[in-house]
Every structure is written in C-alpha cells, then in structure tokens.
A and B are shown apart, each in its own frame.
Chain A
Amino acid sequence: MEVRIAVLRIEGTNCEDETVKALRNVGAFAEAVHLKQLYSDMIKEKERRSLRDYNGIVIPGGFSAGDYVRAGAIFSARMRSVLRRDIEEFIREGYPILGICNGFQVLVELGALPGMDEDKPLSEKPEMVLAINNSNRFECRLSYLKHENRGNCIFTGALKKDIVVYPVAHAEGKVTFPSGLESLHINRLVENDQIVFRYVDERGNYAGYPWNPNGSIYNIAGICNITGNVFGLMPHPERAFYAWHHFDYPSEGKESEYGDGKVVFESMVNYIKKL
C-alpha cells in the first residue's frame, strides 16, 4: 500500500514540520494538514482533504489551542465533533495513529487511549489524564526510556535496543488513572501488552524525579491501545531522529547517521506498506 500520512495541525501545534520531515525521510508521503482542511467548506478546492486520503495519522507536539481548558482538550473536542465516526473506523480498520507529546494528550482526551476495548476505539469519556507534572514545572530535558512492549505496538516492533533516549518537553505529562482504580488499570495495560515505554535512569533502573520527569504512575512514558495501532508518548522521537540530535554525538562506535527516534516512524511506514 502506498504510504500517505497526515500530520494534523491546528493553531498552536508546533512540531508538524520536523514530524513531516522525519516521515518523508523514511519514505512516506507526508504532509501537514490543518484540521479545517478535512471539514470546512471555506477551504479552496485544491486544499480540501479527507481522512480517506490517508492511511496514517500523526498528531504532533505543541500547544494546540494554547493548552486552554486542559492540554489537548480543545483539539480533541474539535476532532470529536467533526471526525468521530471517521476516526473510529480508521482505528477499527487497523490504520495507525501516533500522538507525540501534545498529540498524546489529544488522544487521551479523545478517548483513543488507553483504548482497552477493541469494540469501542474511542471511549465515551476520557479514561485517564495527563495531569500537571508533580514539579509544577515545564520539564525539558533528555529522558531514558525502557522499551517494555512484547510485540503488540506496531510502532516499536523493530526496536533493537532495550533503552532509548528521547527528549521530553511538557508541563502536563503525568499519567493518572481514577483514584483507587490505579492498579486495576496498570494490570490490564500490562496484561494487554499496552505499556510501551517507561522512564528509567541512565543505568536502566526505574527511578523517580528527575528521571521520571512528571511523576507518572508506574513510570509510564508511552502506551498503545489494545490493538497496537494507536500509540501515544510524551517524549519526542522526532527530536532524536538523527544521530546528531543525541547528547553524546559524535560518539565512537556509532556509525549510523540516525538516532533512537527513527524506529518509530520507520515502523509506522513499514506497517502501512504491508496493509
């Protein structure tokens, strides 16, 4: 299948360009598409798009709608109002959706993540939240992530390393479940193989702040839905796409010109090719 990926933007998203670049670099046709291009009748004919024009969606990082109300809430409310059925169908048919940072927040508010019910790709109400960081600060630095997925997540299947380094940059990233139901949710996520990345320290041990930048329960940095085709993470793989994005560049023994983040985009594209 020809790979066509839309990187959705609205006012306030700001990582669409590097995300498009990363996707093009791994062989996809990718373009930034404003949400309005998918529904508004005020759009010029040649700029009109439909979700059906694409077989992959990425919701990029940034501060969509100024993070007003809650991070991602307005973007997701707009998606829900105009695209709900289309998105549900998209997920049900197995097409991949990736949400990075603010995009993860959007997918959570949309009810696409944690997405534990195969029959309902979008829940009626949000089932988790990415709450304000425990530090009450914007945390912006490298993070070490341990890959814990056993093969369900289509975005990390090709990952050869146990630990990757992606930067985080967010103020609202603390994975939180309803009070009293935390362990129930964690157990289900583990059972369903929905945990993808967990924050660790430089030696690969689970650790608290600052290694876990936000206080996320179970050190969760990224999760996928039950069918593995919707993936959200707070750290930015597109900011670790090239080797020179990494703090230890140039380091001896590292021949590749690419960094740890490439695998996410590459896996997404390879998955679509096989659909």
Chain B
Amino acid sequence: MIADVYIELKEGVSDPEGESTKKALKLLGFENVKSVSTRKVFRIEIDANSREEAEEEIKQMCEKLLANPVIQRYHITWIS
C-alpha cells in the first residue's frame, strides 16, 4: 500500500516560505496569485493487513516524527 502523507501548517500559523514565494511570483508578473502556502509530502510504502491498520500506523509516525503538533497537522491520501 502506498500513502501520501501531507504535513501542513495549522490555521493562523505564519508561513514565511509561502509568503516569500508569493512575493516572488508577484514580482514575476503573476498578479492573480492570491495566496501561497507550503506543505510537505512523504510518500510511504507500507505492508499492512488492512488500510485501517496502515492508517493507524501512519498516524503514529506523524505523532512521533513527521509532524510537530504545536504548529502542524497532517492528512493521508491513499495512492494504492
């Protein structure tokens, strides 16, 4: 099974990478850009008996390493 794990900033947390990318895009003439935010994606291939089981394990991964709950949240998208 393959999952894409998205790590993104919680509402209201500032995103300097997104902001400066937006600024650069505007400078390049992309006037229509309203906002830019960043996220990180980990593609994880995992052996498990069921999707539920795998999802439970990935949640653990997020809590133990991939996300810092102070400013980040995560969600999972299944690829296969």
Contact = CB atoms under 8 A, between A and B. Distances in A.
Given A69-B65, A74-B65, A125-B63, A176 B70 contact: yes
Interface stretch (A52-60, A127-135, A152-160): A127-135
B66 A136 contact: no
Interface stretch (B13-21, B27-35, B48-56): B13-21
Interface in A172-205: 176-179
A80 B65 CA distance: 11
Contacts of A70: 68
B65 A73 contact: yes
Contacts of B71: 129, 131, 176, 178-179
Interface residues of B, number: 17
Contacts of B66: 69
The size class of the interface chain A forms with chain B is 20 to 34
B20 A129 contact: no
Which interface residue of A109, A131, A135, A215 has the most chain B CB atoms within 10 A?
A131
A41 B70 CA distance: 36
A132 B16 contact: yes
Interface in A2-47: none
A73 B40 CA distance: 14
Interface string A59-89: 0000000000110011001001000000000
Contacts of A132: 16-17
A126 interface: yes
Interface of A: 69-70, 73-74, 77, 80, 109, 125-129, 131-136, 176-179, 215
5 smallest CB-CB distances across A and B, nearest first, come from: A136-B16, A136-B20, A129-B70, A77-B65, A129-B68
12 contacts: A73-B65, A73-B68, A77-B64, A125-B63, A126-B68, A127-B70, A133-B16, A136-B17, A176-B70, A176-B71, A178-B71, A215-B14
